Amino acid sequence: MFNKQKRPFWQLSSVFAVIVVLVLALSWSNPSEKVSQMDASMADMMSQELLGSATVPDLFNPGTMDSPEALSGNGEHAGHHQQAGKLYAIHLITTALLVFALPVILAGALFLAIVWPKPVKRRNSK
Amino acid sequence: MKFDFILHWLWALVFSILALSGIAMAGAKYGWVMQYDIATADIVHRLAAAIYVLLTLIVIIYEMIRILRRDQTRKPWIVFGPSGYGLFTFITTLIFIITGAVIWLFMDSNHAATAFTLWIHEKLTYLAAASVIWHIYMKTHALKWPKKKARRGR
Ligand code: HEM
Ligand code: HEM
Helix axes A42-49, B111-138, angle to 10 degrees: 150
**What domain range includes position A108?**
82-126
Q: Is residue A34 part of a domain?
A: no
Provide the domain limits for residue B62.
3-144
Compute the distance between CA of residue A37 and CA of residue A21 in angstroms, rounded to an integer: 24
Across A64-68, A73-77, B46-50, B107-111, least confident range = A73-77
pTM: 0.79
Is the alpha carbon torsion for B84, A106, B6, B134 positive or negative?
Answer: negative
As for how many domains chain B has, the answer is 1
CB contact under 8 A, B122 and A58: no
* ipTM surpasses 0.90: no
The pocket around ligand 1, CB under 6 angstroms, is made up of A 41-43, 98; B 15, 18-19, 22-23, 25-26, 42, 45, 49, 52-53, 96-97, 100-101, 103-104, 118, 121-122, 125, 128
CATH of the domain at B30: 1.20.950.20
In angstroms, the Cα distances linking A91 to A48, A73, A87, B94 are 29, 22, 6, 22
Distance from CA of A101 to the nearest CA of B (A): 7
Domain for residue B151, yes or no? no
**Would you place residue A32 in the very low, low, confident or very high pLDDT band (cuts 50, 70, 90)?**
low
Confidence band for B153, pLDDT divided at 50, 70 and 90: very low
Is A87 domain-assigned?
yes
| pLDDT score of B117 more than 60 | yes
Burial class of A72 by CB neighbour count within 10 A (0 to 12, 13 to 18, 19+): exposed
Contacts of residue A73, Cβ cutoff 8 Å, sequence gap at least 6:
none
Residue A93 C-beta-side C-alpha neighbours within 13 Å: 10
DSSP assignment of B102-117, as one string?
HHHHHTTT-HHHHHHH
R_g over Cα of chain B: 17
pLDDT digits (tens, 9 = 90+) for B62-103: 999 988 888 878 888 888 988 889 999 999 999 999 999 998
